[in-house]
Structures are given as structure tokens and as C-alpha cells.
Amino acid sequence: MTKVQFFGAGLSGFQEKTLPGRLIVLEGTDGVGRSTQIALLKNWLESSGFAVLDTGLTRSLLAGRGLKKAKEGHTLGAKTMDLFYATDLADRLENQMIPALRAGFVVLTDRYVYSLMARAIVRGAAADWIQSVYGFALKPDAVFYLKIDLPNLIPRVLASTGFDYWESGMDFLPGDDMYDCFVQYQTRLLATFDQLARQYGFDTVDATQTVNKVFSVLQRKIRKVLPKEAPVVDGARVLAIPSGRPAAAAEEDIEGRREEFAAALAAPADAAKAESQPRAKRARANSKRQIARAAAKKA
């Protein structure tokens, strides 16, 4: 994050003007494929040498358990739930995301203020009120919106967890047919996401494509947001793999570059980058000479 900016007044007591990490948001409606992509991206980024924090709704120490319990009981009103989710995000920002950004991590977040705004607006909250609630939140480096339409979403949800009470808006919609409620709720939610996409300038990704296609589009876009230099870990520079290929290909790359990695990690921190190439070359040349000598002896 080159420059720290908040949506409004920001977090109290926050002083820094810049943070070295990157805050990357994946947004999209229920069941669109966010978790699938976050898992692939985390693997890819880590195998490229970046430290990654992945986070998402209801994962705060302060409010996570309470929120899950509240959802079981269905007893809290819509506005209370909005503020409970805001508390969860504020706690994660202050205690997980900002410390990770300060330490140079790539923070991947599964949903951010936008899903929370969309859900609140669809349930009748005033848009300017819910947007002002999130004045404490950091503006992210990038927001990728996984966009899908209802005909593509329904089979995807049916093939995974099936329809759910909250994801069908049954807490506020009249009627007791879950399918009808899902259609109504998701139609309204998708329209609200589209409005927010225009307002906040989301980078929209066509989520109707295959998992691998969505992944490679995200890789290409995220590479532009990453720092040019790979991070320094434990005093040695870890080599980044500037590869746009899927995680399996990145793993093959690591396999082929083990020597190079070992050389970089063994070298002192400031000399690691400069020395890793020649050291790896020398190691390869040595092993070639040894193979040639062994072959000559045999002959």
C-alpha cells in the first residue's frame, strides 16, 4: 500500500502515511467462487515468496463467535447485525490486517466493506448511513469483483452447499419458499453490487468462466499491484517467481529452482540477490563436472 487512505475519518490514533503491504479484496455474491480463488491465490503468492494473510467475514476474535451465534438465533435486528459486522471488520483491521500490512504482507480479504454495504442496502438501510459507518476502513489497493448472473449462480450453489437461510434473504423477505427467496434476494444483491461497482470503480472479472480462467485473469491483474521487489524473509531475500501460470506450474518452477533458492537463502541478506545466480551456476557446473568425471572413470 503506497499511500494510506480511509473511506472517512479512519481509525483513531492511526498515524502512518504509508504501509508496505498490499490490501487486495475479492468481492462477489454468495457462492460465486471467492474461497476457491483465495485458496489458489494464496498458494501462488506464497510460492512466489510473498507472506500472505487471508481473512474474511466473522473471523475476528472480538465479534466472530458472537456473530455466528447471533445467526443461529435469528434474534437480532438488521441494523444491529450491520453494526455487529462492522465491529468484526474494525477488529480485524486493527488487530490483523493493519499489522500484516505494516509487516509487508499481501492481505487477501474474502469480502470487505462492499458486501456488507450491499447486504445492508438490500435490507433497507440508507446507503449514505452504511457508507458512513465504514468511514473507519482503509481503502484497498485493489477490489476484484467476481461477477456472475443468476442463471449461472443457481447451479453453482446447488452443486455445493445448496440454498441457505441468510443467502436467500429469508430473514427479511416474505414467503417461505427458499428457492423463490434466493432468486429475489440474489437479484437485488447483484443489482446493488453493480451500483457499488460503478461507484467505487471495482475491477470486474467475469466469474462465469472456469476456475482456471478466473484464476489466471486474477493473477495477471494482481501482479500489477504487487511490489516489484520480493520480500526479505529471515535476513535472506526470497526469490519471486514472476509466473502467470497456475499453482501447479509454479510448484514445478520451484522444483527446478531449488538450487537457486538454497543459494539465495544461504547468502548474506544484502548479497543474496547479487550472488544467487552465479552461485547456482557454479553449483550446476560442479555437478556436471562430477557426473563427467564419474562417467570417464566407468569408461
Ligand X SMILES: Nc1ncnc2c1ncn2[C@@H]1O[C@H](COP(=O)(O)OP(=O)(O)OP(=O)(O)O)[C@@H](O)[C@H]1O
Contacted by 15, from Mg ion, ligand X, none: CB < 5 to 8 Å by type: none
> Which is nearer to Mg ion, 58 or 243 (by Cβ)?
58
CB of 121 to ligand X, least distance (A): 18
Which residue of this chain has its Cβ atom nearest to Mg ion in the complex?
A: 35
CB of 269 to Mg ion, least distance (A): 38
Q: Which helix (H) or strand (E) holds 203?
A: strand 203-206
Phi, then psi, of 24 in degrees rounded to 5: -120, 125
> Which is nearer to Mg ion, 29 or 219 (by Cβ)?
29
Which residue of this chain has its Cβ atom nearest to ligand X in the complex?
A: 33
Contacted by 58, from Mg ion, ligand X, none: CB < 5 to 8 Å by type: none
In the block, residue with C-alpha cell 447471533 = 70
> Which is nearer to ligand X, 125 or 214 (by Cβ)?
214
Distance CA 206, CA 190 (A): 13
CB of 95 to ligand X, least distance (A): 23
CB of 169 to ligand X, least distance (A): 14
Distance CA 222, CA 261 (A): 23
> Which is nearer to ligand X, 32 or 93 (by Cβ)?
32
Note the residues at the interface with Mg ion (CB under 5 A): 35
Q: 20 is written with which cell numbers? A: 508496505
> Which is nearer to ligand X, 71 or 257 (by Cβ)?
71
Distance CA 163, CA 166 (A): 9
Note the residues at the interface with ligand X (CB under 6 A): 28, 30-36, 156, 159-160, 210-211, 214
Name the nearest CA neighbour of 81 among 69, 92, 94, 91. Answer: 69
> Which is nearer to ligand X, 118 or 214 (by Cβ)?
214
Residue 186 CB-half CA count within 13 A: 25
Number of helices (H) and strands (E) in the chain: give both, helices first.
12, 7
Contacted by 214, from Mg ion, ligand X, none: CB < 5 to 8 Å by type: ligand X
CB of 36 to ligand X, least distance (A): 3
Distance CA 166, CA 249 (A): 38
Phi, then psi, of 245 in degrees rounded to 5: -90, 165
